[in-house]
Amino acid sequence: MIKRNRIFLILGICAGASALALAFYAFRSARHETEFRNAETRKLLISEASILAARASDFLKTEERNLSSLLRNSDTEKSALLAIQSKSPHIRQIFMTDRAGQPLFPGKEDLFYKSFGAFFFDPVNVNNGKQENDYSTGSKHDRVRLLTQFGIALQKNNSGWIPWVNDNRLHPVLWTVSAKKPDKIIGAELELMSLLSRILQLFPQEIPPYFCLELADTQNKVIYAVNPSAKHQSPDAIVPVNQEMLPGWHIRGYVIQQYGETTIILFNVLQIASFVLVLLACGGLLIWLARRELELAGQQTSFVANVSHELKTPLTSIRMYAEMLREKKDKLSPEKQDHYLSVILSESERLSRLISNVLNFSRMEAGQKKYNWENLNLHEFLNELSILYHPGLERLGIKLTIGSCPESLQIKIDRDSLTQIMDNLISNASKYAADGKDLNISVVERDKTILVNVADRGAGIPISSRSRIFNKFYRCDNSLTAESKGSGLGLSIARGLIRDQGGDLLYSPREGGGSVFTVVIPNDEGKSN
């Protein structure tokens, strides 16, 4: 008995020593991994902030080129200038001067010059009293040359962007020499809020939950934030937007500190699991279960972060344009009011579509989605679809055509889910394939299946992305998805809805360019609710 106890004691000491050695190794590995992971995380954050700043800068440069071209080629008549001012949402006030920078329109008494008095009228000595030759007398004399701030800008270029600051407020000014009357300068004060609303749409739709990205002005005031952090800390990344066009504006990035604390806790759990591995010889199973739980938690966190951002973006636009309507309604032209209202309406429709997608996604993930199968006349359904979507697609310049479909063709399907599927497909075409100007819906009968093809003439989907476009939260990484909004749930939900009913959703490239999404509907009579 004593000998046996000694054996158990020796085995226990060996097991304990092994557990302590493994725990010490796990601790050192965890510490090294944490340091390495923090460094890589900061690099990724700086990359995210730099990409966002570059996109914002590219947008500003594009708007500068477009507006400069519009002003340069416009008539110099007052009525023509006022028409441009009323139609462009980015132009707050248009003005015209001579080549010396003296205002011609509007008059000096206009409220416009309250913010720009020093810019247009205060003289600046640009010659510093240097001697110049007087060729009429052959002598030299001191000559003082005075110009205004705007006059100095005119001496250097034929067009430009000037970030004028007055009373701690930024007033972007764009100007250019008239192409029709080169002795005239046409310029405009830009609507900063309108430019900002477009820049906010460039913020990424998906970022890791442990990142925070902010847009800050010259006074370090946060204009917009994704995943705002409650803790006060120094930013891990600061990237200027564009020093020439928006001096002092920058993108700030933070690594939320709770992420590091959570990581340390998880590594402590792994140390305990390592001890259990040595003593109970079942750590492999525990580690597998822990990893699976972490993956599920990561998916849930990613889902919440994506949906939260997608909900905030349209709400931000709706609030911004509503506030502009409330505060400046009497000063806005009818065209601008209609534009602001159309933005509010489209963002509201986007918000409604997102909520519908989220509800369907949640029910499908929980296995609680209910279907009410009914006999549906496909010909009538497609005609109703055409009437519903035709006005909106027409505004985007997209021609919707419905191919031939037998008038008596009946299918057994849940009408609401089919509507949701078609809504997601048509919505994707309007966002990513609008340049193609063509959207065709056709029906093909094949054995015991009915194929509904939704074909566009857009840029198509890269070969490397075709196998993943139906994955949850996946979006192709190209210029179209960068400029358009979305959560990456639409195609995943659409395929899930039709597969639950025995069908499928497939993708294929369209001959001649574009994409074809095929809704495969089983044509049988065996379904029950």
The amino acid at residue 12 is G
Give every CB contact of residue 472 below 8 A, 6+ residues apart in sequence. 299, 303, 361, 488, 489, 492
Q: Is the dihedral of CA 227, 233, 236, 241 positive or negative?
A: positive
Q: CA-CA distance, 228 to 38, in Å (whole number)?
A: 19
Distance CA 405, CA 380 (A): 9
Structure tokens at 442: 């056709």
Identify the helix (H) or strand (E) that includes residue 185: strand 184-190
DSSP calls for 498-529: HHHTT-EEEEEEPTTSSEEEEEEEE--S----
Residue whose token pair is 């990484």: 477
Contacts of 264 (CB under 8 A, 6+ apart): 30, 34
Q: Looking at residue 167, what is its pLDDT?
A: 83
Mapping DSSP to helix (H, G, I), strand (E, B) and coil, where does residue 473 land?
Answer: coil
Contact criterion met (CB below 8 Å) for 523 and 411: yes
Q: What are phi and psi of 516, to 5 degrees?
A: -130, 120
Q: Where are the domains of the chain?
A: 42-130+140-257, 370-522
DSSP classification of residue 447 = T
**331 DSSP assignment:** G
Section 57-65 average pLDDT = 94
- The amino acid that residue 529 corresponds to is N
Q: How high is the pLDDT of residue 457?
A: 86
CA 332 to chain centre: 27
pLDDT at 224 over 70: yes
- Enter the DSSP assignment of 332: S
Instruction: Report the C-alpha gap between 381 and 361 in whole angstroms.
Output: 24
Mean pLDDT of 94-108: 90
Q: Is the pLDDT of residue 272 over 50?
A: yes
Q: What's the alpha-carbon Rg for the chain, to the nearest Å?
A: 32
**Chain centroid to CA 368: how far?**
31
Q: What pLDDT, in 10s, does the model give residues 286-331? A: 555 556 556 555 555 655 666 665 666 678 778 888 888 888 777 8
Give percent helix, percent strand, percent coil of the chain, each to the nearest 5. 50, 25, 25
Specify the higher pLDDT residue, 10 or 493.
Answer: 493
Q: What CATH fold (topology level) applies to the domain 370-522?
A: Heat Shock Protein 90 (3.30.565)
Mark 237-269 as b/e (b = at least 16 C-beta within 10 Å): bebebbeebbeebbbbbbbbeeeeeebeeebee
Residues 323, 329, 332, 336, CA torsion sign: positive
Of how many residues is the chain composed? Answer: 529
Q: Examine the pLDDT at 4 and tell me if it is beyond 80.
A: no
- Cα separation, 486 vs 307, in Å, equals 10
Token reading at 167? 């009373």
Q: Which residue has the higher pLDDT, 222 or 388?
A: 222
Q: Are 328 and 89 in contact (CB under 8 A)?
A: no
Distance (Å, rounded) from C-alpha 438 to C-alpha 441?
Answer: 10
pLDDT at res. 527: 43
Is it the case that residue 489 has pLDDT exceeding 60?
Answer: yes
Mean pLDDT score, 78-101: 92
Yes or no: say if 451 and 169 are a contact pair by the CB < 8 Å rule.
no
Across 5-9, 309-313, 453-457, least confident range: 5-9
Contacts of 478 (CB under 8 A, 6+ apart): 459, 462
pLDDT tops 60 at residue 231? no
Amino acid symbol at 235: P
pLDDT above 50: residue 86: yes
CA–CA gap between residue 282 and residue 55 (Å, rounded): 51
What is the pLDDT averaged over residues 233-252? 91
Q: Which residue has the higher pLDDT, 44 or 146?
A: 44
Q: Which tokens go with 407? A: 């008038």
- DSSP letter at 510 equals P
User: Of 195, 179, 150, which is closest to residue 71 (Cα–Cα)?
Assistant: 179
